[in-house]
Amino acid sequence: MKVFKFGGASVKDADGVKNLVRVLKETGYNDTFLVVSAMGKTTNAMENVVEAYFENKSKIASALQEVIGYHEAILFDLFENKNHPVYSQVKTLFDEVKGFLAWNKSPKYAFVYDQVVGYGELVSTTIVSAYLSEMGIPNIWKDIRDLIKTDNSYRDAKVNWERTQQAVTDNVDVTKLNISQGFLGSDDNNFTTTLGREGSDYSAAILAFCLNAKSVTIWKDVPGVLNADPRNFDETQLLDYISYREAIELAFYGASVIHPKTLQPLQRKDIPLHVKSFINPVGEGTTVGKGNGIAPLVPCFIVKKDQVLIKLSSLDFSFIVENNISEIFKLFHDHRMKVDLIQNSAISFSVCLDNKFGGLDAMLQELKRKFKVVCHEDVSLYTIRHFNDDAVKSLQNGRTVLVEQRGRETVQLVVK
């Protein structure tokens, strides 16, 4: 069996859904598990619904209606018969969102987030599944929450591999075309969980591992893995083949084409990953597979924007040593801050963080009780794999470099 993953950009409108059908017809779809993300920017729009729920409930209806209207427009373009069952199926899903927001009593943001935002994937796959059937492609719609089982770390759930393997083995017909959602799972109480933002790639890898798939293909709006994101860099180059190790390194530093967790389950079973263009499905794309010695022949650029650089120093000029550092990292953990770079000297400690869960202000108050704290917000972290002098100079020009760190293969710059 093979696993195909289509992201939100590939199904952002009716033409995108029609193109997905074209891709399946050109590449073959027997014995395939299809993982499809929420359409377009639906996840962002559903996040607005959650924000309204906590900040101004009078705005919930309009925020949700924006999402409903967007999907209705796609439905109207795909299904001329307004009595098609898909219309009532989609309405039922949105009614479930409304019902949850009406009866929910939990004050926990992460819990509410997961119960609401995941409906983007449920609606998307419902529409795509119905359209596939309309086009004469029989398929089985699966609720991924019945397959991927996790703990209850809402917004960043950890997979229970044993239970997930059993669920996939028991419930997936590997001889048919299956379609399901990315990004989602469920906990022991069958509440919805999410695997982290952009987690649909990871979902595809989890399924591939449990199905012993022969390959995973991620369909993107780029021709494959490039040496830099074309939205941020000019004159990018396609990487034809890279090793699991190199792909994991690039993902770890923030390359957006492949989700950081995706590679590990694939590497464990030597399942090759293909990154291809849904615009040109017969193009070669990029293959990720075995080969520890295989590295790109050109510098690879990665940027993470909206980062936070914190510089800590002791109040009494004493050394910052192991007990201080362990206390600092516990605070990072408690406030769900992702560490992207660290640098320390005898009396200072610098760290570049991702404040994606909004814990920065509370954490700074705790740090200021024991350390002198200098905080730079809205900085960018640039990483160059396989750097050369010209590559480094291209990033330094016109920017203020706050931290620079070099290794044998990688250089990182925190710039303002």
Query: Taking the alpha carbons of 189, 190, 194, 199 in that order, is the dihedral positive or negative?
Result: positive
Angle at 322 between CA 370 and CA 415, to 5 degrees: 70
DSSP 157: P
For 104-153, where are the alpha helices, taking DSSP H only? 109-117, 119-134
Is 408 assigned a ligand-binding role in the annotation?
no
CB-based contacts of 406-409 (< 8 A; 24+ apart in sequence): 409/295, 409/385
What does the block give as tokens for 413? Answer: 């710059």
Cα–Cα distances (Å) from 144 to 114, 187, 335, in that order, read 14, 12, 29
Phi-psi region of 266 (alpha: psi -120 to 50; beta: other; left: phi over 0): alpha
Q: C-alpha angle with apex 86: 80 to 90, nearest 5 degrees?
A: 120
Distance in angstroms (rounded) separating the CA atoms of residues 30 and 8: 23
| CA–CA distance, 413 with 364 (Å, rounded to integer) | 23
Residue with tokens 């989890």: 206
Instruction: Show the CA angle centred on residue 139, arms to residues 166 and 180, nearest 5°.
Output: 50
Q: What are phi and psi of 398, to 5 degrees?
A: 75, 10
Annotation: binding site: 231
Annotation: binding site for ATP: 231
